[in-house]
Each structure stands twice: as structure tokens, then as C-alpha cells.
Structure 1
Amino acid sequence: MLTTDKKIQNAYKYCMAIAQNHYENFPVASKLLNKQLR
């Protein structure tokens, strides 16, 4: 069974992989965010 720290680490790696493979969506998504969150 995974510890909470390991789950968070795995989730972070998964998100990084998505971000690296789908970078073309970030300019579009950033326009939808509140200016303070960009």
C-alpha cells in the first residue's frame, strides 16, 4: 500500500507528464484563468 507522500509524488509525476505532452493547451487555458492565478 502506498503512503500519502508516495501518492502525492506519483500524482505530481503524472501531472508533469501531462503538462509536458500537452503543452499546446496551456496558452488557451491561461486565458481562462483569473489574472491573479496566472
Structure 2
Amino acid sequence: MMKLCILGVVGDWGFRAEEILAIIIVVNRTLMFVWKQ
């Protein structure tokens, strides 16, 4: 039951969190690529 409650609360932020993580990963890789040059 606890997991269902947590998933219910996190569900609303799930898509946003994935978008934020994707953006952070892309920016991080871009910075690393530029930093090496």
C-alpha cells in the first residue's frame, strides 16, 4: 500500500522528473564535449 501511495504522489512529477533528468544529461554531455576541446 505504501508503494502505491508513493507512486501516486510521484506519478504527477514522473514525467517532469524524466524531462529534467534528460535535459541535465544532455547539458552535462554537451559541457563535457565542449570542455575537452
TM-score interval, normalised by the smaller of the two chains: 0.5 to 0.7
Identical amino acids, percent of aligned pairs: 4
Q: Which is richer in helix?
A: 2
TM-score, length basis structure 1:
0.54
Q: Alignment RMSD, CA only?
A: 2.1
Q: Which runs of 5+ in 1 are unaligned?
A: 26-38
Structure with more contact order per residue of length (Cα contacts < 8 Å, sep ≥ 6): 1
For normalisation by structure 2, the TM-score amounts to: 0.55
Structure 2: gaps spanning 5 or more residues? 1-13
